[in-house]
Structure 1
């Protein structure tokens, strides 16, 4: 057999990427139609399909390589040449950074992620992207030196839809009133230009226009949220100008946006100018390029390792029954490894745990479930692992750990944003107002997860975290399931003290009246939760949510407080 052509295989890989990107773009570009038609079930299906296409495209590309050569018989020089040929094809490529990640995924699939070598893959990027190269291709610019009304009118006219606004005059009045309420006359007069990303951001039941108001020495980021008006047609639901609100909109517990752009690097660069506290990998993930987000995260992680010297150690909080969780104190993520054996109370398997994490990945996380990223053969420097942590991992997750002289290799790993465990927060926080707010948000978190058709299962407060914005997020998925997979029942009422002992309880039965006994432990917190969210302890409420899901109802879960909706801010 003749020697395989590295140039030809490099060409095949790039064509595989471009086919995948076209597929991705077709799904994304149809978001406008789904939004205009209020086809919310199709919105959910498209989100799941778009996540799944990457692995399907990768499998096809790998199969083509096996038809061209025997990968495991090739020498190192073959892979060096392959990378160089591929690199030449990326000159002036509009998605070169995504194409590099696709190439990395090919190498990872061929070698089961056991070879992390910059000579044969793009561990480091081939070049840095300089923002502004195609800025004119991703933003619309509006002259704001006229009246506020004329600028707003130009914006809404430019971003038109086939579905008309229910009351555009009302919406323009709301926008202008909000600006005059929020900024001084001199601040508004200083705005000379408004820049808005050309592509509308779609997610769930909303569409978002994202941009900034520019003065001579600063810019003010904003988001215009568009939704369907209850009376028919479209409406401007709100205008957000607080960076906190924008940060939550792009939060790690939310589903990915649908944004159809051939210039993702430029869009990400613009977004980071609006949200400087968001890292590049977070923004790529928010746009749906979660595989490339993993690549950028890994590069960021390697850079942090080089510029830090603290040790990996067990994460604070109560030890989990299913996962061993650790962190690097100076870095903002936690690492989760499935244990070899589970506690007797956990009647589940390793594959069940993986399935649960996949279920959450493919679902609408409604801002209440942390996104997780799965890695194979993740390498950590052995000298940075604390002795206590290494001993714990060897004791509870030995099958997932491989040791070399210099490295600890974790064969299967989840990475998740670091949060303060809610149980620790409630123990340490002395401000009663903040405690009450956290308990109220805990109940709201559970309700919103249920509204996304997911039953959290184990709702102990140790399985929730709280963000720096005070938002409660669920992060323990080993018992999650769809709502229709549980039978919510009322506890039987009987004078017979032995009635509960003889009650027939099926594995899928759930008794919400018992929730108050284990969601939070202390009596005053239980009473607070019951007073704020009595529905959680009512089986009828859970049954009604099930019925809504069966009937196809998809609830609104806003990424901002309802009080900020114009209909509540400016009631007629």
Structure 2
């Protein structure tokens, strides 16, 4: 066997090991959900994020041990060709191609831009890949009835935890599904092919499990989700039926922790959702199920394709400039590009390494729908001609160590990319009362959810928060993020005399992590309306007792109930008498 074939087989063996472990870890979420092992589920999710880089490093070491002179770029077109031949009938070819790219980039270092060495575009089609297990199951309620269909669906998922109050679950689900079908785009006209398709494994995240499906009627495909929750140690109940576009987008958003789901053919799962929710990019769908490296690959290809078919210029991002990050954007592309500054002006007291650690903390942590996920890249080449002259001048002034010019390209050595949000301070500026009220409400709710997840923003100013296209408040600046349990929340000391009152600086000692919630309104909002709304909606956040209580819950190991959908769409709780009857029957 020639060297190219041996290298290709070694790389594919590394990928196969990675996906075998990845899939096993994801499948184990079912048992953890059934046993209510929330901390173990969250830890498995965190560990799974690093699995890819671990396997890539192992594979790089293995090919380096077995083969010399792999830094010779002339070998890699042959290795790539041999690798393509191995992907015939592979069940995860797109993931295997991305793995190849990662290994090649590690070996060749700055040869990232040579498309002969890597898969700059897919070489193997992912349509109609046949796995050993079905991607989805089909149900025909017009033949069997909705009630029988729901019972069959629950049995197919094979949860060992009992379904609490089955009649109640049936009643609410049937009511919601019937109302939804009547309001669907097709109205009351049901075609002969009307049926329901459900992905064959549940999606697990935090304390919830979700069945994702779609209704087929004629040529239309409409997505929905059913949310399952635990009721203590009693069993599982149906918590919500999600069909509104906004609720589905938020459920699948990568501002949450990644889902754990057992997928044999991931491209089929992503296509299933994308076909019914086409405004959710495939890149984000890959990331939402924990395949963040594939998401990065898909995103990078989407970005390059957009650059080919657009002619606007990169420009400085709107909003208040940060002291840690230099941020720019492409107006026609809904993302921002963030580069760590070479130095930080006072009063910022941090380092490049510490900032990177903060962003990694957010990547590994449960983002609870309130932290924008980031894509991290190294050595990204952008066409120089697409940068506004003013932007280039600012980059040369503020981040000269982070950029290089290579021929017609500007190479950014280290880069974070995030969804572009509307900065909250910009949103509130000159806003009418309703917009101010909405912005303040979302700001406070974001602080609550982050606190429940053991996160405190550090720099709590509205300029570090933004609103998603659906108006959801998210934190997007992480250089001062810290664990809530590392903070000390104190009441504001009472001045001893008039002289204390008149001092420009605090007359009392302030530790590095000391926080005085009573001060929030005065420095958060310049608009008196915003201050008043914040006191009215979130007055408890202005008292140390709220934060102390959250810290006690976290230290006690209490797992919060945080839902990626509004409280008003949840079904009524299972009545206590029903629980007692089912407990006695058991």
* Coarse TM-score class (shorter-chain normalised): over 0.9
**Equivalence map 1:138-537=2 (5 Å):** 138-146=135-143, 147-184=145-182, 187=188, 192-230=194-232, 232-430=234-432, 432-499=433-500, 501-537=506-542
Identify if the C-alpha distance between structure 1 residues 7 and 498 changes in structure 2 by more than 3 Å, giving closer, same or farther: farther
**Equivalence map 1:109-148=2 (5 Å):** 109-130=106-127, 137-146=134-143, 147-148=145-146
User: What secondary structure is seen at the aligned counterpart in 2 of 1:137?
Assistant: coil
How far residue 514 of structure 1 moved from its aligned partner, in angstroms, is: 1.4
User: What secondary structure is seen at the aligned counterpart in 2 of 1:332?
Assistant: strand
Contact 1:107 1:113 in 2 (8 A): no
- In 1, the alpha carbon distance for the partners of 2:557 and 2:71 equals 53
- In 1, the alpha carbon distance for the partners of 2:70 and 2:11 equals 17
- In 1, the alpha carbon distance for the partners of 2:188 and 2:221 equals 11
- In 1, the alpha carbon distance for the partners of 2:390 and 2:68 equals 43
- In 2, the alpha carbon distance for the partners of 1:441 and 1:542 equals 18
**Counterpart in the other structure of 1:88:** 85
- Does 1:549 pair with 2:543? no
Contact 2:313 2:330 in 1 (8 A): yes
Identify if the C-alpha distance between structure 1 residues 44 and 188 changes in structure 2 by more than 3 Å, giving closer, same or farther: farther
| Worse-superposed segment, 546-555 or 158-167 | 158-167
Consecutive unaligned residues in structure 1, runs of 5 or more: none
- In 2, the alpha carbon distance for the partners of 1:88 and 1:47 equals 33
- Does 1:101 pair with 2:98? yes
Identify if the C-alpha distance between structure 1 residues 498 and 108 changes in structure 2 by more than 3 Å, giving closer, same or farther: farther
How far residue 230 of structure 1 moved from its aligned partner, in angstroms, is: 4.5
| Worse-superposed segment, 185-194 or 42-51 | 185-194
Contact 2:518 2:542 in 1 (8 A): yes
Contact 1:419 1:466 in 2 (8 A): yes
How far residue 130 of structure 1 moved from its aligned partner, in angstroms, is: 2.3
- In 2, the alpha carbon distance for the partners of 1:107 and 1:519 equals 48
- In 1, the alpha carbon distance for the partners of 2:287 and 2:450 equals 21
User: What secondary structure is seen at the aligned counterpart in 2 of 1:194?
Assistant: strand
How far residue 182 of structure 1 moved from its aligned partner, in angstroms, is: 3.5
Q: TM-score, normalised by structure 1?
A: 0.95
Contact 1:144 1:193 in 2 (8 A): yes
Identify if the C-alpha distance between structure 1 residues 556 and 406 changes in structure 2 by more than 3 Å, giving closer, same or farther: same
How far residue 389 of structure 1 moved from its aligned partner, in angstroms, is: 0.5
How far residue 510 of structure 1 moved from its aligned partner, in angstroms, is: 1.3
Aligned residue pair count:
568
User: What secondary structure is seen at the aligned counterpart in 1 of 2:322?
Assistant: coil
**Counterpart in the other structure of 2:45:** 47
Contact 1:450 1:483 in 2 (8 A): yes
- In 2, the alpha carbon distance for the partners of 1:345 and 1:569 equals 53
Taking only aligned residues, the RMSD between alpha carbons, in angstroms, comes to 2.1
How far residue 424 of structure 1 moved from its aligned partner, in angstroms, is: 1.1
User: What secondary structure is seen at the aligned counterpart in 2 of 1:533?
Assistant: helix
How far residue 543 of structure 1 moved from its aligned partner, in angstroms, is: 1.0
- In 2, the alpha carbon distance for the partners of 1:357 and 1:117 equals 29
Q: TM-score, normalised by structure 2?
A: 0.93
| Worse-superposed segment, 154-163 or 102-111 | 154-163
**Counterpart in the other structure of 2:10:** 12
User: What secondary structure is seen at the aligned counterpart in 2 of 1:526?
Assistant: helix
Which runs of structure 1 show a deviation greater than 6 angstroms over 4 or more consecutive aligned residues?
568-572
